[in-house]
Structure 1
Amino acid sequence: MEFLPMNNWQTKKLGELAEYLNGYPFKPTDWVNSGLPIIRIQNLNDENKEYHYFNGNIGEKYRVRKGDILISWSASLGSYIWDKDDAWLNQHIFKVLVNENEVNRDFFYFLSMTILEEMKRKTHGGTMKHITKNLFENIQVQLPPLSIQQQIVERLDAIRKLQELNNKEIEKTEEMFDSLIKQQLALRENLVPLIEIAEINPAVNIDKSKPIPFISMADVDGNMGRVVNISYKENSGVGSGSRFENGDVLFARITPCTENGKTALLNGLNTSGMGSTEFYVLRAKKDKAIPYFIYLLTRTDWFRQQAVVSMTGTSGRQRVPKSFFENVLIPSIPLSKQKDMQIMFSKIQEYQMIISARKDKLSELFESALNKAMKGELVS
């Protein structure tokens, strides 16, 4: 498959390719507990965000059905395909009615992705990302013939299917990991306070004569439960914060990081380091526990839920108190059993690393293919 040169493509305005219907300006007084969900920008960016509902009738133009293309145009720029049941569309989101005589629906979706990504780059650092309907409709694009559009869609869809399969494998492996943790750490009769097997925020000496390893909250992947980046700072660039050594466990104490699983076991450090003030540092007590057991324990939904219930402070800035770790009861498991658990779960995590790396590579492949396709450079 070889695509036509760009000079043979047609120049079109986005307004010629589709109609863009803005959502309805719902007010909080319109929200109820039943009816159809209201799609807000946060619902498009995060599937876990709570929906509000509306049980009236505001017209067909505001109803979204499965397969509709949606474009958020205020504060957050993005293109989406709605994959759920009927819903109402909130303001600041366009519902796109594609002119299929001019453009393939799926091709338009891919095209809009590249346009919005370019707009994001141009507004990087700005306080507000916002595009008007008139501005959007007048953006000029290069459009290949419908037959070439279809070929591009097929090529990109093939990569997306690989991404979907890999994502399902990631979900399946995470579910298996969590299920096995629950089985292995099922609460037993012999319960002990956590502080019997682990120190909380132990004293750590920092060598300030050389760059200090530093781990921020963003450096911890909550889904994988691991550190994904370590920066190094001079002594003058590090203030107060958590202090840790190799083998320690970091546990996020502030909402929503606690709920999001920001927990990690530190491996491979050859010197002590520092991190966000919002981490608790847990260290396994010798002859009582191994570091990996403390890590597994703090990764469980049960432990995290207990921590969340104990939170104190104002809404949005609630934190897990240190007293939680002093009072929470955990199952007492022999060291030999803990070591067996480490062998089993380490193998699962090694596989998780493989499919996580595959996810990154597929994402890079898709981005590369998408950019080349829109420049007429993609060939079979």
Structure 2
Amino acid sequence: MTKEKVDIDASWFGAIPETWSITKVKWLGRFINGYAFKPEDWGNEGLPIIRIQNLTDPEKESNHFNGDLDDKYLVTKGDYLISWSATLDVFKWEKENAYLNQHIFKVTLNRENIEYKYFYWLAKVFMEEMNSSKHGSTMQHVTKSVFDNFKVPLPPRDVQLIIANFLDEKVSEIDSIVENTKQSIKELKKYKQSLITETVTKGLDPNVEMKDSWIEWVEKIPKHWEINYLNQYFTQHKFKNEGLKENNLLSLSYGKIIRKNINTTDGLLPQSFENYNIIDNGDIVLRLTDLQNDKKSLRVGLATERGIITSAYITLRKTYKIDTNYIYYYLHSFDIYKGFYGLGSGVRQGLTYDGLKRLQILHPPLHEQEEISGYLNDKASQIDELIKKKEELLVELESYKKSLIYEYITGKKEVI
């Protein structure tokens, strides 16, 4: 395959085959921006409105518009849509007729220059490259001038079809592996959760005599276990970071307490950390705010080091000889059961320590608590390692897919 060098303005794709040409995005078709809907236009009747969130998350509920608009804003099945603000990507619309919101282009292709199937793969690559040309501090976007005049490589029509068919097949194979891997991760997480719940409520002896717990989500428990209240084992720990004694900033993320850079500019941080709570290894931290709106977050974490954490969270410190690892797993199971959501109060359903302290806690003998937490530590670690490897595979597959598309769309590889 003979190559020729391209001009410096098109350096992102380097040399291309001599039979290929260089064109600009604006010559590939018409790119029609969506209608500038206002919130008062939204309703529950009429055609769905396609917003960027509906493209990036197909399960996201759509707003609707019950009125008449110019047909240029109407999207039908099979139309290509390009998000040019915040998220830069191309999407193929596969649902019912809908109206297009602003910040998204509907593509009407110039079929004399480009094949329908090929455009999708070409757009995947050039939108990725345009990411470096985004403007704006709040909602980043690509300017119309940059978009229109962005140079892209273009093979002859017959080669476009060959490449498109090849990528359709290869990417479909990769996507199938990705979906199977994601499903496997989901099943491992579900198994881990069920294992924790089963073990903290039933113990490790399958032959032990059982009794009713009269706790709805727990059901039967070993006959020799006790049931008491949280405040019989824990108190709310409040120890302000006055004088900035500590600077090891901690955060509760996905059910784990992790370190955070105290000097970071990412996220919302206070002007001073003096009102943050100092916590220690073995403390249990619960984020019990916004129970009304957020029903996905994992809300329980176990501290493994000394540090500071926002005082908006509830910190529990034991006052009784009890295995905090076991109680952490128990509260984690209650969290997975979504038990905290029925305890909150107020407009945003927050839960204070006073609302939590009478929560019923299972109390096996201390040696059983330690056996259970040790067993779960080992099992959870094994499952987490499997999940980590599968998540690493997902990253590798996505990287390989991007590389594959780029190499064929820029002529670095030829379909044989």
- Distance, in Å, in 1 between the alignment partners of 2:92 and 2:138 is 27
The answer on whether the counterparts of 1:32 and 1:52 sit within 8 Å (CA) in structure 2 is yes
The answer to whether the aligner puts 1:15 opposite 2:26 as a matched pair is: yes
The answer to whether the aligner puts 1:109 opposite 2:120 as a matched pair is: yes
- Distance, in Å, in 2 between the alignment partners of 1:24 and 1:213 is 48
1:229: Cα distance to partner?
5.7
Aligned pairs for 1:328-339 within 5 A = 329-334=359-364, 336=368, 338-339=372-373
CA RMSD between the two structures: 4.3
Structure label with greater radius of gyration: 2
- Distance, in Å, in 1 between the alignment partners of 2:80 and 2:404 is 21
Equivalent residue number for residue 16 of structure 2: 6
- Distance, in Å, in 2 between the alignment partners of 1:71 and 1:231 is 36
| Secondary structure of 1:332 counterpart | strand
Farther-moved stretch of structure 1 (359-368 vs 295-304): 295-304
Equivalent residue number for residue 274 of structure 1: 308
1:354 pairs with one of 389, 392, 395: 389
The answer to whether the aligner puts 1:325 opposite 2:356 as a matched pair is: yes
Change (3 A) 1:288 1:171: same
The answer on whether the counterparts of 1:69 and 1:81 sit within 8 Å (CA) in structure 2 is yes
1:141: Cα distance to partner?
0.9
- Distance, in Å, in 2 between the alignment partners of 1:284 and 1:367 is 50
Counterpart residue type for residue 138 of structure 1: N
Change (3 A) 1:51 1:100: same
1:169: Cα distance to partner?
2.0
Equivalent residue number for residue 172 of structure 1: 187
Counterpart residue type for residue 127 of structure 1: T
The answer on whether the counterparts of 2:287 and 2:314 sit within 8 Å (CA) in structure 1 is yes
Unaligned 5+ segments in structure 1 are: none
The answer on whether the counterparts of 1:261 and 1:304 sit within 8 Å (CA) in structure 2 is no
Change (3 A) 1:26 1:103: same
Count the aligned residue pairs.
366
- Distance, in Å, in 2 between the alignment partners of 1:81 and 1:300 is 41
1:11: Cα distance to partner?
0.9
1:159 pairs with one of 171, 174, 177: 174
1:197: Cα distance to partner?
4.0
The answer to whether the aligner puts 1:37 opposite 2:61 as a matched pair is: no
Equivalent residue number for residue 196 of structure 1: 232
TM-score by length of structure 1 reads 0.74
| Secondary structure of 2:140 counterpart | coil
Unaligned 5+ segments in structure 2 are: 4-14, 202-216, 221-225, 265-270
Residue identity (%): 28
| Secondary structure of 2:249 counterpart | strand
1:85: Cα distance to partner?
4.5
- Distance, in Å, in 1 between the alignment partners of 2:58 and 2:351 is 26
Change (3 A) 1:31 1:299: farther
Change (3 A) 1:288 1:132: same
1:191: Cα distance to partner?
5.5
Instruction: With a CA cutoff of 8 Å and minimum separation of 6, indicate the structure with the bigger relative contact order.
Output: 1
